[in-house]
């Protein structure tokens, strides 16, 4: 079964998140690589644990059962099928499934880079709600553009793209003077964001990477399709709705 993955994250590297120096002008202290916010650790372990279940224990039939029930399939809502409990939960549960080890690894790297500063900023409960909203927005735009698709949508990148959108409203600035580094300052007004060279460069790279991977440039015919539209849905949610989640 082909899976429609949503992993086309940019390759710019974690240093796209800028550091805020301390009051003395000294460079910020460097945190351990795995100094993740607890709620981010929980989400990462959930994704890793589910993938381990898929890869090590379920087997082909069990994995197919998992995908058919918990991945997001647009045709479930537009085809001749009864709307059951899986139709209700799969717009969220798909974000915990992944199509391969590389898919999972890329998403976990970007979750660590963008998720922890956001979680430390808005708190654990708001982060849970933000993840859900990002996943729903990603699945929603994917559904609008592909209402008859039978290809399962899996992956955390829709929710993570929402985190990237939120990060853009802080111009990717992280205050590392506190024990728990978080995105710094107030949420930037949109006109100010769109005048930031850092944000514009990131958006340009992010969009190009999504379009290239989404169109399958350089990919083999058997490669899973990248659901780049889902990334955009998540990003837009995070970019425009972060004020609703900020505290």
CATH code for the domain in which residue 70 is found: 1.20.1540.10
Residue 131 CA, chain-centre distance (Å), reads 8
pLDDT score, position 32: 53
Kindly report the average pLDDT of the chain as a whole number. Answer: 85
Count how many domains the chain has: 1
In the chain (247 residues long), the average pLDDT of successive 10-residue segments reads: 49 44 50 77 97 90 93 94 94 95 93 97 98 98 94 94 97 90 94 94 90 57 64 96 94
> Distance (Å, rounded) from C-alpha 168 to C-alpha 58?
39
pLDDT score, position 23: 44
In a domain, residue 136? The reply is: yes
Domain interval for residue 197: 13-20+33-245
238, 239, 245, 247: CA torsion to nearest 10: 140
In a domain, residue 216? The reply is: yes
In a domain, residue 114? The reply is: yes
Alpha helices by DSSP H, listed for the chain, are: 38-52, 59-70, 75-78, 85-93, 101-122, 124-145, 157-168, 190-193, 197-214, 228-245
In a domain, residue 26? The reply is: no
pLDDT score, position 227: 80
C-alpha distances in Å from residue 40, one per residue of 10, 113, 222, 223: 20, 10, 33, 29
In a domain, residue 5? The reply is: no
Cα-Cα-Cα-Cα dihedral sign, residues 88, 77, 146, 53: positive
Count of alpha carbons within 13 Å of 246, Cβ hemisphere only? 18
In a domain, residue 177? The reply is: yes
Q: Residue 41's closest CA among 99, 122, 129, 124?
A: 124
pTM above 0.85, yes or no: no
* Sequence-distant (≥ 6) Cβ neighbours of residue 130 within 8 angstroms: 118, 122, 159, 162, 163, 166, 238, 245
Q: Residue 240's closest CA among 201, 188, 205?
A: 188
In a domain, residue 132? The reply is: yes
User: Could you tell me if 224 and 152 are in contact, meaning their C-beta atoms sit under 8 angstroms apart?
Assistant: no
pLDDT (tens digit per residue) in 89-123: 999 999 999 988 989 999 999 999 999 999 999 99
pLDDT score, position 4: 58
In a domain, residue 84? The reply is: yes
């Amino acid at each position: 079964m082909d899976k429609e993955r949503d992993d086309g994250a940019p390759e710019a590297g974690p240093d796209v998140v800028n550091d805020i120096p301390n009051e003395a002008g000294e460079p910020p202290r460097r945190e351990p690589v795995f100094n993740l916010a607890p709620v981010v650790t929980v989400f990462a372990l959930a994704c890793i644990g589910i993938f381990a279940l898929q890869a090590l224990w379920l087997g082909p039939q069990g994995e197919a059962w998992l995908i058919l029930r918990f991945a997001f399939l647009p045709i479930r809502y537009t085809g001749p099928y009864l709307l059951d409990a899986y139709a209700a939960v799969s717009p969220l549960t798909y974000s915990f499934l992944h199509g391969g080890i590389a898919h999972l690894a890329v998403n976990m790297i970007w979750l660590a880079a963008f998720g922890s500063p956001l979680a430390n900023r808005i708190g654990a409960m708001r982060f849970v709600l933000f993840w859900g909203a990002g996943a729903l927005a990603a699945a929603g735009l994917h559904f609008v553009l592909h209402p008859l698709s039978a290809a399962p949508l899996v992956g955390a990148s829709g929710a993570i793209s929402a985190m990237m959108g939120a990060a853009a409203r802080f111009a990717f600035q992280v205050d590392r003077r506190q024990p728990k580094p978080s995105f710094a300052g107030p949420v930037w007004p949109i006109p100010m964001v769109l005048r930031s060279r850092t944000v514009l460069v990131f958006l340009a790279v992010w969009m190009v990477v999504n379009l290239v991977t989404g169109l399958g440039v350089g990919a083999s015919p058997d490669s899973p399709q990248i659901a780049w539209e889902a990334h955009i849905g998540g990003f837009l949610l995070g970019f425009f709705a972060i004020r609703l989640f900020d505290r």
